[in-house]
């Protein structure tokens, strides 16, 4: 099975992706900035790919703590933003359960003096017996 890996900026908390007021809801400035930076990062890293992953997918989100990651942050709190951007830029077809059939989050303790890091790995997924 084929795999693809991408280093991405740490996304904002899912709680900080939208703002509400006056009966409306909109994307926060922080989230818009992250999406733009991540699009640029992904376009640079995926430029050499001749094909995109074929679903369904298994996705690993590996986080290393450090500057830019609060120690008390929920690990799965950044998953929604990551899956959404992978779909927006067309790396994955959809983030629905029809397409994303496995998500694994891992966390490594910070390395003194280093910033937090995020690595996303996508694998073409075939459940046992298929």
What pLDDT does 129 receive? 54
86 pLDDT higher than 90: yes
How is the chain split into domains, by residue range? Answer: 3-124
**Angle of helix 79-88 relative to helix 29-46, nearest 10 degrees?**
60
Phi, psi angle pair for 14, to nearest 5°: -55, -30
| Topology (CATH) of 3-124 | 60s Ribosomal Protein L30; Chain: A; (3.30.1330)
The pLDDT of residue 39 is 94
Of 58, 47, 66, 80, which Cα lies nearest the Cα of 118?
Answer: 66
The stretch 84-96 carries a mean pLDDT of: 93
Average pLDDT over residues 106-121: 95
pLDDT tens, 19-67? 889 999 998 999 899 999 999 999 888 776 767 788 899 999 999 999 9
Q: How confident is the model at residue 128 (pLDDT cuts 50, 70, 90)?
A: low
Mean pLDDT for the stretch of residues 64-75: 91
């Amino acid at each position: 099975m084929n795999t693809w890996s991408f280093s991405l900026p740490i996304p904002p908390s899912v709680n900080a992706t939208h703002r509400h007021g006056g009966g409306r809801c909109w994307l926060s400035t922080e989230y818009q900035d992250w999406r733009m930076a991540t699009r640029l990062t992904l376009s640079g890293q995926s430029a050499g790919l001749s094909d995109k992953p074929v679903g369904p997918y298994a996705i690993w989100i590996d986080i290393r703590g450090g500057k830019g990651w609060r120690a008390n942050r929920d690990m799965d709190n950044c998953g929604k933003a990551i899956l959404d951007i992978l779909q927006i830029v067309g790396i994955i077809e959809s983030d629905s359960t029809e397409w994303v059939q496995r998500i694994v989050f891992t966390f490594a303790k910070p390395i003194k003096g280093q910033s937090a890091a995020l690595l996303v790995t996508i694998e073409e997924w075939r459940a046992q017996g298929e």
